[in-house]
Amino acid sequence: MFMKRPADERGGGDHGWLNTHHTFSFNDYHDPKYMGFRVLRVINEDRVQPGQGFGTHGHRDMEIITYVLEGALAHKDSLGTGSVLRPGEFQHMTAGTGIRHSEFNPSETELVHFYQIWIVPERQGLRPSYDQRSFPEAERQGRLRLVASPDGRDGSLTIRQDAEVFLSSLNENQQVTHELEKGRYAWLQVLRGAVQLNGLSLAAGDGDAVSEESALLVRATEPSEVMLFDLP
């Protein structure tokens, strides 16, 4: 079973310094039909103007993954981390008992375009942590590259939930497949381009919730980038 979440039906909007789109209910956007999917709680697509950003704010009891598509994102947090996230790089925070951080576009001329994902952790009260890792396009071209997992295998980020996150870059007509174990679910998010998921057409910004399926076939109808979540 497939349930499409069209890009143009997402919440959020243009705030001048920030253009944001919320797949699920977030901040002032509330839709009882879209409160998350399984352990996925937030999928936000953000574009932040040069010299702008999110001031210091706090999170707790959430696994937070950030992926930059264009530009650069400067990060500082209460663990003492100071870093800049660039295209192809992922950042992961276990917010746990509490973490404070800021996110800022350090460029004077270029906007930053990124996705931020929140995943409900395996339990509350975890120790906060931070990690950052690069996954070059060569590692994900024409294949599903594991970028986050509960055991950190294959050089992926270690997240505190029984979920796996994959990233793939596809040329036109390239395809990848993924098998779902019985009782598992999936979410496909199209970051760029356009694809067909088991024959269902999806464009940039679209997402799709997958239930009661054993295999997924993702075929690009133009050069594309997708993120796939394998969920309990």
Query: Would you place residue 194 in the very low, low, confident or very high pLDDT band (cuts 50, 70, 90)?
Result: very high
> What is the signed CA dihedral for 180, 181, 185, 188, rounded to 10 degrees?
-20
Q: Supply the pTM of this predicted model.
A: 0.96
Instruction: State yes or no: pLDDT of 80 exceeds 90.
Output: no
Using one digit for the tens of pLDDT, what is the confidence trace for 107-133? 999 999 999 999 999 999 999 999 999
**Whole-number pLDDT of residue 192:** 98
Length, in residues, of the chain: 232
- Nearest CA to 20 among 120, 93, 111, 107? 111
Residue 155 phi, psi dihedral angles, 5° rounding: 75, 15
Structure tokens at 7: 């890009």
Query: Would you place residue 178 in the very low, low, confident or very high pLDDT band (cuts 50, 70, 90)?
Result: very high
Instruction: State yes or no: pLDDT of 207 exceeds 90.
Output: yes
Instruction: State yes or no: pLDDT of 77 exceeds 90.
Output: no
Query: Would you place residue 166 in the very low, low, confident or very high pLDDT band (cuts 50, 70, 90)?
Result: very high
Q: What is the DSSP letter of 72?
A: -
CB 75 within 8 A of CB 101: yes
